[in-house]
Every structure is written in C-alpha cells, then in structure tokens.
Amino acid sequence: MADAAVRFEDRANVLAGESDTGKSYLVHCLDYIFGADAMKKRFKEVDPYSQLFVEFENHEGKLITLERSLSGGDLLAYRSSLSRIGTEAPLKVAAKRSGKSKALDVTQILFEFSGVKEAKVRKNDRGDVVRLTVRTLLPLFLVDEISVIAEQSPVLGRASYDKTARKRGFAYVLSGKDDGGVVSTEVKDVVDARLAAQISVVTDLLEPLERRVQDRLGVPLEESVEAIDEEISTVYLAMSSHSDERKALEGGRAKVVDDGRRADSQLVAIDELLNQYRLLDERYGTDLSRLDFIAEGSHFFEGLQEVNCPVCDQVITPGHVHTGLAEASSVYEAASAEAAKILAHKADLAETTATLMVLRSVRLSELATSKATLHQIDATIDETVAPAMQDAGAKLELLVGRRLGLEKIRLEELQVSDLRARRDELERLRKPGNASSGDWERISSSATRSFCLEVEAVLKEWRWEGVGRVEFDETEYDILVDGQRRQSHGKGVRAVLYAAFVVGLLRYCHANGRPFLGPVIVDSPLTSYKKSKVLGDLDEPINVDIEAAFWASLKNIKAGTQLIIIENKEPPQSVADAVHYEWFAGKSAKAGERAGFIP
C-alpha cells in the first residue's frame, strides 16, 4: 500500500483539483495533528491507513515529525525528518493537557519549535487565566471550507466556550504581550473577608504610629532636615580638605624617607671606601719602609773590608770589584724610584680621602635634615591633621544620627498619611457598589491599526473595488471594509475577506516579529459554498479582477512566509509555474497525473 503524501514548500503553495479528491481531507488531517479530539472526516479510501505523520521545518532549518494514530489517542514526536524517524526514540506527546497537568503536549512542542513563548490569556471577565494553546489560535491559521464563508469571526471561530481566550489570544499575537500578570476578581464573600483582614492589619500598623505622631504635637523641632544636610555638607567639605592635606603630607613624608634612605646608604658606601683607603694607606707605609731598608742595605756594601771573595776566593783588590757592589747603586736607584711612585699614590689617596670626608659630611647633614623633616611631618599629622579629622568624623556621625532621627519622624508622618489613605480606600471598597468593575485592558489600538494596514495592502494587491479602508470591529472581532461588516457580504466576498484577514495577519506577524506558528492554510477562498441551505444565504460571485489578482499575488509570497491555498479552481499557468503547485485530477486523471490525495 503506497503512502498518501503531500509536500508543501516555504513559499506560496496551491493544491487544486476536482471535488472529492481528498483536498479538504488534508485540512482535517492538520486539525487532527494539532490536537483535535478525533478525526472528523473518514471515507472508505482511508480505511487501509492507520497512522498520520506530519513533518514540520522551522526558520532555523530544524525538523520535527508528529505521528498520531487515526483511531485517536496521544501523539509521538520525532526530532528528525519523516525519513529518519526510526533512528531515535520518540517523545510521547499529549493531544492536550487536562486539569493541572504539566505533560508535554502539542502546544508546548509546537510553540517551542516555532519560537513562540508559552503565554497566559484571560478566559473570563473575572480575570481567570488559562494557558494559550494551538487550539485557541486555530481559526487564525487553519481555515476550512465551511469557516471561510461563514458569518463567524475569524478570531472566534465556531461557537465555543472560549471566546474570551480567543480574543486575548489574538491580542497576544498582535502585541506579543500576554495576560500573565492579570489578577482574577474573586467572589464577593472572599473579597469582603480579605478587605476586612487588610483593614485590620492597616489599623494595627497605624495605631502605634499615630500615638507617636500625637505625642510630638506641639513640640517644635529645633532644626530641619535641610539645615542638617547643609551642615553635613560643610563638615564633609572640611573632612575632604583635611584628607587632602594628609595625603599631601603623606606624599612629602614618603619623599623625605626616600631621601634619608638614599643618604644613609651612601654613608655606608663612603665609610666602606674610607676603610679600604685606610688599609691602602697603611700598605703604602709598609712598602715605603721596605724600600728604605733596601736602599740602606745597598749603602753598606761600600763599607765592606778587602777580604777573599766568597765567590772566587781571591782577595778583593781595587781592580777586583765584587759584582754585588756594582749592583748596589742600581738597587738604590730602583728603590728610590718605587718610593717616589708610592708617595705619589699616597698623596692621591690622601686627596681622595679628604673629598670623601667632605661628601660624608654632606650626607650626614642630609640624613639629619631628613630625620628632622620626618619628625616635623609626623608631628603635624599626629598633632594637627589627625585630630581635626577625628573631630570632623565625630561631628559628622552626630549630624547623621540627628538627621536619621528627623527622617524617621518625617517617614512616620508619611506612613501615617499613606496608611490612613489605604484604610479609607479599603473601607470604600467594602461599601456596596464599589467592587471591581471588571474593566480590562483593551486590545492595542496601534497594533490593530498596523494589522489593518497589512490587510489593506492585501486587498489593494487583490484589486478590491472601493477605497479598501480596513478597520477592526472590537464588538464582532472582525474587520470592517469601507465601513461595511464582513458578515454583511455574500459567501464569496466573505471568503475573500477571511483570506485577506489571515494573510494580512501572517504578514503583520512576520514583519513585526510577533508570535505565530508559521503556516496559514485556507481551503476554498475562491469557491463559494453551494449548499446554501446550510448557511441560509445566497451566493455572491467573486469579481473576476479580484480572482485574477488573488492568483497573481501568490507569486510575491517570499520565502519564510508559508501560505497554502486549497482550491477547486486551477490557477493561471504563470502562477502555477511560480509557486509550488499540485493538481488532483480525480477520476478523469490521465497518465502521469495524480488522481487524489489517496493513491
């Protein structure tokens, strides 16, 4: 058995064909996958089939497939394409929640997939709120062949118990603002009991405050909050001045400390050098004594007597001069020269030592000056600045305490005034006829006007006869076109205007980033319903120009805006070529043509 499948694209789609080919059955399938209690339409060709699968793709390119048995029950959701549903375990999805259930249902999974936040909408005039569901919004995007020509509101759909919720759902779609903050109006007995309890609490809070205020009557306040604020400002400025002075002194102190440390470190270096120079001078003295000894030794060679030479054992005669005697003069001269050099170095050392002693005196003076300055700065901080800051801080603390006392008195007087006003308001509400009137925020006029402008643009594209001025009727929750209610037209025009309503809403939501599921499906907007006995009015032919312009406008539908038109009539060939088009030929289908939805 072959699958019965139809694929729609992300743009305008047209599914046309003969009657009884299963076109409208697609609408029932979508209604069923969106959580209808049961499949409303069955025929014999469908009997062999047991499961319905619908694949969705969002603006991020992600896919999700919903599965539901045609016999009823819950759904299964696969976060993948239809061709890959066997690769992962499905999620069990309820067709709808009941009671306080938090089960995953069709609304939650489709809202999350479409980027629509879950919302609360008011369901009655008392302000009770319910969760917005796909079923609530269904008339705005899934229009069957009966609803499209009926006199019912495109917002409210067929007669149901959830009219208020559908109105508020439409307001949410237009504005993006739900009724989550609405507090419901309670029954009178509960309200009276709560008001009485609130009055009692307010009275208990008010009595001690009133006694304290009464005790202060006739006792003039010595000063005002404003005067204390001015004095606080003066003291604060003085504290800031002292703080700045202390910062400046601390900065100078740091510089003096640095100078003292530098002078002290240089004194240590100078003393170390002087010690080295003293040791050097002592060595120079030792070297000079040694040289004196050498020079004096060479002099004694001249006084030696003639004796046998200790080297050659010959008598040392005037002609036999000993070698040592010959070298004595050179030793003396060398010793003298070396002594002269050492004396020169000793003189230089003495001069350098004198210079270092002068520098040492300077550094000692700098160190003494640094210590004196440091002592003076510390004394100024400890004896002048710090006490002044302490005195100003104590005075500021005292002033702040006095100000808090005055502020407390003023606050208590304001609390007494507010509590008295609150008690009077609560007592007024307890009187008969003063309960909450149940007036709720109306639908945004700016949002409805913007929406009507989109519908006007649609009608202009469709060559509407007349000005095409569109207004929103909050009484009927429908549109007025050129001052005439949609319901006052015949079936054909009603169908066109319903289509313009949902197409305009689709464009509005897409342009303004408003919450919307995405696709809009309209069944038979151009084919008037023939069974007039069901609706009790006569057919009104659609203007030929409107029909032609309707088809032509489908070519302008951009990607990201999915519109599905189901019709008996065939579009012009130029339109069929520009959009995604499928034709169900019915019993007269030729080779290569598709007979209907069911193969």
AA identity, residue 289: S
Q: Which of 40-44, 93-97, 346-350, 490-494 has the lowest mean pLDDT?
A: 40-44
Q: What pLDDT is attached to residue 284?
A: 80
**pLDDT single digits (tens) 127-136:** 888 999 999 9
**Residue 550 burial (CB count, 10 A):** 25
The β-bridge partners of 51 are: 69
Overall average pLDDT of the 519-542 stretch: 65
Contact 489, 151 (CB under 8 A): no
Residue 162 neighbours by CB under 8 Å, 6+ apart? 123, 130, 136
Q: What pLDDT is attached to residue 307?
A: 63
Overall average pLDDT of the 245-263 stretch: 87
Overall average pLDDT of the 418-447 stretch: 75
**pLDDT single digits (tens) 32-85:** 999 998 887 878 888 899 999 999 999 899 999 999 999 999 999 999 999 888
Banded pLDDT at 483 (limits 50, 70, 90): very high
In angstroms, the CA 126 to CA 437 distance is 9
Q: What pLDDT is attached to residue 45?
A: 86
Residue 259 has pLDDT above 90, yes or no: no
Top pLDDT among 527 and 183 is at 527
Cα–Cα distances in Å, from 569 out to 108, 196, 534, 551, 566? 37, 68, 22, 11, 9
**577-586 exposure pattern, b = at least 16 Cβ within 10 A, e = fewer:** ebbbbbbbbb
Question: What global pTM score does this model have?
Answer: 0.60
Residue 149 has pLDDT above 60, yes or no: yes
Residue 534 has pLDDT above 80, yes or no: no
Q: What pLDDT is attached to residue 208?
A: 86
Q: Which of 170-174, 283-287, 320-324, 407-411 has the lowest mean pLDDT?
A: 320-324
Residue 113 has pLDDT above 70, yes or no: yes
SS3 letters across 469-537: CEEEECCCCEEEECCEEHHHCCHHHHHHHHHHHHHHHHHHHHHHCCCCCCCEEEECCCCCCCCHHHHCC
Contact 324, 301 (CB under 8 A): yes
AA identity, residue 230: E
Banded pLDDT at 111 (limits 50, 70, 90): very high
Contact 51, 71 (CB under 8 A): no
For the chain, the straight-line distance linking the first and the last C-alpha, in angstroms and rounded, comes to 9
Q: What pLDDT is attached to residue 183?
A: 64
User: What is the rounded (10 degree) CA torsion for 498, 501, 505, 511?
Assistant: 130
Residue written as token pair 């990607």: 559
Top pLDDT among 457 and 331 is at 457
Q: What pLDDT is attached to residue 551?
A: 96
Residue 530 has pLDDT above 60, yes or no: no
Overall average pLDDT of the 149-165 stretch: 88
Banded pLDDT at 437 (limits 50, 70, 90): very low
The three-point CA angle 71-75-79 to 5° equals 145
Banded pLDDT at 11 (limits 50, 70, 90): very high
Top pLDDT among 344 and 298 is at 344
Q: What pLDDT is attached to residue 222?
A: 54
Banded pLDDT at 536 (limits 50, 70, 90): very low
Q: Which of 63-77, 423-437, 445-459, 529-543 has the lowest mean pLDDT?
A: 529-543
Q: Classify the C-alpha dihedral 486-489-495-499 as positive or negative.
A: negative
Residue 510 has pLDDT above 80, yes or no: yes
Helices (H) and strands (E) in the chain, counts: 13, 14
Q: What pLDDT is attached to residue 422?
A: 85
Residue 436 has pLDDT above 60, yes or no: no
Q: What is the mean pLDDT of the chain?
A: 85
For the chain, the residue count is 599
Helices 491-512, 445-461: axis angle to 10 degrees equals 120
Residue 480 has pLDDT above 90, yes or no: yes
Instruction: Give the helix, strand, coil percentages of the chain, each rounded to 5.
Output: 55, 10, 35
Banded pLDDT at 220 (limits 50, 70, 90): low
Tokens at 331, concatenated: 């030793």
DSSP letter at 157?
-
In angstroms, the CA 144 to CA 29 distance is 11
AA identity, residue 349: L
Q: What pLDDT is attached to residue 245?
A: 86
**pLDDT single digits (tens) 389-399:** 888 888 888 88
Residue 513 has pLDDT above 80, yes or no: yes
Tokens at 80, concatenated: 């993948």
Q: What pLDDT is attached to residue 374?
A: 87
Q: What pLDDT is attached to residue 40?
A: 78
Q: Which of 4-13, 89-98, 230-239, 565-574 has the lowest mean pLDDT?
A: 230-239
**pLDDT single digits (tens) 307-340:** 666 656 666 665 655 554 455 677 777 878 888 8
In angstroms, the CA 28 to CA 36 distance is 9
Contact 469, 420 (CB under 8 A): no
Top pLDDT among 369 and 320 is at 369
Contact 389, 247 (CB under 8 A): no
Residue 29 has pLDDT above 50, yes or no: yes
Q: What pLDDT is attached to residue 9?
A: 94
